[in-house]
A = this chain, B = another copy of it.
Amino acid sequence: MAKPRSSEKRNMIFQAGLRLFAQNGYSKTTIKDISTEANVSFGTVFTYFTNKEELFHLCVTEPIDEFRNYLIEPETLENFNLGTLKEMVTKHLNFFLEKEDYLRVIQYVIGQPERFSETMEELDQFSDEFMSFIQNVVQTGMEQGVLPESNPEEVGYGYLAFLMGARLTFTDYPGVQLTNALGKQAYRLFGIGI
């Protein structure tokens, strides 16, 4: 009963699931919808995923590793200055604004933590890691005199809230323009006036 871990078709189904779960939520999305979107027959979905719940869980959790590597860059800490900070912020904002489908399902899960508790746990863990990284950034920035006196925890809270909200709040807006506008505000959260 072991499901194949990788294959062309599995990926098609996975992407289709991600897209549709993001757009319509869990219950509204049907296996039929997914199979159609993936150009795959109905039964094939069950060849690669045990059931709908597992597919959803994997759509949310599988990409976490990739994103961890992308969003948490130790180099930022090693070689810290205003330039690397701004690069980091831009990277974060772009990611949150571009990975629309993925962020949506994440927000979907976060919005119903009791319902998807198991999935939520894995997200929480990543969220903690990310927050802790940001706090490190703030700490480092303060120590090096690049950032003003701040409470690293508070900055972390605010920054994460800001990033999540950006994705949630501005669905239709053109990306680049928004990145610039929100970028300035993000710097302000770190205490940088420009």
**Chain A interface (Cβ < 8 Å from any Cβ of B):** 23-28, 104, 107-108, 110-115, 127, 148, 151, 153-155, 157-166, 168-171, 178, 181-182, 184-186, 188-189, 191-194
Contact = CB atoms under 8 A, between A and B. Distances in A.
B165 A153 contact: no
Contact of A194 (B24, B160, B171, B188): B188
Contact of A162 (B104, B110, B161, B192): B161
Contact of A26 (B25, B153, B158): B25
Contacts of A181: 151, 153-154, 157-158
A160 B165 contact: yes
A117 to B, nearest CB: 12
A153 B181 CA distance: 8
Given A111-B107, A112-B23, A165-B164, A154 B191 contact: no
Contacts of A26: 25, 27-28
Contacts of A166: 161, 165
A27 B110 CA distance: 17
A194 B147 CA distance: 10
Task: List the 7 closest A-B pairs by CB distance, nearest first.
Answer: A165-B165, A158-B185, A27-B27, A161-B165, A164-B165, A154-B181, A193-B194
A193 B186 CA distance: 14
Contacts of A110: 168-169, 171
B189 A191 contact: no
B154 A194 contact: no
A148 to B, nearest CB: 7
Contact of A191 (B104, B127, B188): B188
